[in-house]
Structure 1
Amino acid sequence: MEIRTIFAIKQFVLYSVAYDEEKNEFKRLFDLWTSDFEYLESFFEENKADLQNGFWGVMTVEQAIFKTRNSAIKLRKQFYDIANNSESTDDKLQQLFRPLRNDEYQLNSLSKEKSKEGWLRIYAIRISENTYVVSGGAIKLTQTMNNEGSHLLIELKKLELTKQFLIENGLTDESDFGFFEFIPE
């Protein structure tokens, strides 16, 4: 596992892990969601029962692909708007992330968090108000992440792996990141 910088502009720092791949998770996800139509078609065909379970309404695979692509473009724009408007004190990465569990309200260091747009999720570990490490993401078609055999269970494991990696490498506070060698993207 490697940690790579997505952007580091003044007080806003977004990192992402890379799991034995050339791309970090942040880039990999947005590439899949915005331009890999074969992946999206395959994903929605494999998860057709969840797609049509009514949680998000009932739609065709083609409609789901269109919805995913549009949501991904919107979500990526939100991240880059914050990065590009770093002079503003109103825009914070913290505004894009919320605790993973909807019943959690306190913001803690090393908490598991999510950013969402429609059914898309970016999962990250919170280091501080404006420092996050992305562990992965998913298309969330069901109400909970704990469905048996769900691709979302993999994302829960990746969140935990990332948190353990950060702890084992002494990256538990924003200031710790100044001493860690990151691989530039």
Structure 2
Amino acid sequence: MKIVCIFVEGNNGLWSIQLPGEPQHEFDKFFNAINDVEWLKNFFTRNEDDLCSGYFRQVNVNNAVLKTFEEAAGMEDALYTYWEQGCLHRGGSLEHLFKPLHNFEYAVGFHQKSKARLRNGWLRLYAIRLDRNCFLVTGGAIKLTQDMHRPHLQQELRKLAITKGWLQEQGIHFPEDLNTYQED
């Protein structure tokens, strides 16, 4: 597994994992997919039952693609804005966007599994929290259901668990460890 910096200043920032054998790191992989019309049409067609279930009101495939484009742009802007505010100590930080993975978690934990989403959005960016303004992205998904039982969401949960274990094995506990980590 590789660690790739997305935007970093000192110990603040957003990093991403790159899984062995994958040509892209997970941050780029997610944003490339959700900005690809064909990929989105295929995804929403395959998941049309969930799309029309009413969890996000009934939406057709074409409107879902447009909604996803808008939400993706908003999420990218929010990520950069919160990171920048955290670096400049202006009251905001990435922790305002990333929340604990489970809605019933209220305390910040060590290597906490986290998710970023916009209000009323279906895009999720999954990450491990290392500090208030430092997250390691493990993947992302379109979440059309209340639970995490769909195969593509289960895959994201597995990547979170694998990454958390890998960080512990590598002795990566704090943001400064990301800056000094060297691949074998």
> Normalising by structure 2, what TM-score?
0.92
Specify the alignment match of 2:57 in structure 1. Answer: 57
CA RMSD of aligned residues (A): 1.4
Q: How many residues align?
A: 179
- Distance of 1:134 and 1:72 partners within structure 2: 16
SS at match of 1:45: helix
Unmatched segments (≥5 aa) in structure 1? none
- Distance of 2:83 and 2:129 partners within structure 1: 17
SS at match of 1:14: strand
Using the TM superposition, name which of 75-84 and 160-169 deviates more: 75-84
Contact 2:101 2:114 in 1 (8 A): yes
- Distance of 1:167 and 1:11 partners within structure 2: 18
Matched, 1:69 2:61: no
SS at match of 1:109: coil
- Distance of 2:181 and 2:50 partners within structure 1: 41
Using the TM superposition, name which of 153-162 and 24-33 deviates more: 24-33
SS at match of 1:123: strand
Matched, 1:80 2:83: no
Q: Which amino acid aligns with 2:182?
A: E
Can you list the C-alpha shifts for 1:6-33, whole angstroms capped at 9, x where unaligned? Answer: 1112452211011222221111111111
- Distance of 1:139 and 1:64 partners within structure 2: 11
Where do residues 1-185 of structure 1 align in structure 2 (5 Å cutoff)?
A: 1-19=1-19, 20-34=21-35, 36-85=36-85, 86-117=87-118, 118-147=121-150, 150-181=151-182
- Distance of 1:91 and 1:11 partners within structure 2: 16
Please report how far the alpha carbon of residue 102 of structure 1 lies from its aligned counterpart in structure 2 after TM superposition: 0.3
Contact 1:12 1:93 in 2 (8 A): no
In structure 2, relative to structure 1, the CA distance for the partners of 1:174 and 1:11 (3 Å cut) is closer
> Normalising by structure 1, what TM-score?
0.91
Contact 1:109 1:173 in 2 (8 A): no
Q: Which amino acid aligns with 2:180?
A: F
SS at match of 1:43: helix
SS at match of 2:117: strand
- Percent of pairs with identical residues: 37
Contact 2:6 2:15 in 1 (8 A): yes
- Distance of 2:108 and 2:84 partners within structure 1: 24
- Distance of 2:182 and 2:4 partners within structure 1: 9
- Distance of 1:73 and 1:169 partners within structure 2: 34
Can you list the C-alpha shifts for 1:83-114, whole angstroms capped at 9, x where unaligned? Answer: 44432431211111000000000011201000
Please report how far the alpha carbon of residue 164 of structure 1 lies from its aligned counterpart in structure 2 after TM superposition: 0.9
- Between 1 and 2, higher relative CO (CA 8 Å, sep ≥ 6) is seen in 1
